[in-house]
Amino acid sequence: MSDLFSIEGKTALVTGGSRGIGLMIARGYVEAGARVYISSRKAEVCDEVAAELSKVGTCISIPADLNGEPECQRLAAEISERESSLDILVNNAGANWGAPYDEFPAAAWDRVLDLNVKGVFFLTRALTGLLEAAASDEDPARVINIGSIDGIQVPLLDTWAYSSSKAAVHQLTRHLARTLAPKRITVNAVAPGPFESQMMKATLERFGDSIAATNPLGRIGRPEDMAGVAIYLASRAGAYVNGVVLPVDGGISGLS
């Protein structure tokens, strides 16, 4: 059973891996014995986090702002200079923007959709060759896209572009899953509920108690909850899972 859930020796890229959900996954992968690359927009922070995680395993920083195809191609090229194959791609880098209906700006739609949706597509496409090189019938390469329960249910906050982008990520996941399956690359999405992350910080400070109280499990997500799901999907235990959107929310989206 330990082999079934092992990712030891695999190579992974986690975008947005310097904080929040991405850091939870990157840390879990490093501690599980994977060789992990992390990218984020802020180079200094990315380097600091990689240095910290390298104390317990292998973590390499490649800063990148994936808000456009050229940066996606550059990041893929830098990975290919270091690796002949890539077992796991976690598309986590994302942006959010909140503003009332009557005031929501066009620039917010462009920023959020460019990073949250187009960035996922362009980076996955740029890395398909490396993913295919790692893939086999018994152990496919994995793409794990980070969606959100806000893409499943209507959010309470005025995050018009974010919730729309995450619904798009879920559908893009299914589309990519069907296209890449013949190459022995699976594509799945994780739809987190409330976790203690930088993106959720202000919301949890204001509404954390009430959010926890309305969760069927009565709490906010913990780092190990996210790491466990990401490890499962990347291990042989998840080898036959493809095109799935998996809520990790304590039951909020399905039971509330």
Query: What is the 3 state secondary structure string of 95-145?
Result: CCCCCCCCCCCHHHHHHHHHHHHHHHHHHHHHHHHHHHHHCCCCCCEEEEE
Q: Choose, from 29, 37, 162, 240, the residue flagged as catalytic.
A: 162
- For 195-210, what is the mean pLDDT? 76
Q: Whole-prediction pTM value?
A: 0.95
Q: Is 117 exposed, middle or buried (0-12, 13-18, 19+ CB in 10 A)?
A: buried
Domains, the chain: 69-249 (3.40.50.720)
- For 52-64, what is the mean pLDDT? 98
List pLDDT tens digits, range 120-155.
Answer: 999 999 999 999 999 999 999 999 999 999 999 998
Q: Kindly tell me if the per-residue pLDDT of 201 is higher than 90.
A: no
Per-residue model confidence (pLDDT) at position 256: 65
Assess whether 101 carries a catalytic annotation: no
Q: Kindly tell me if the per-residue pLDDT of 1 is higher than 90.
A: no
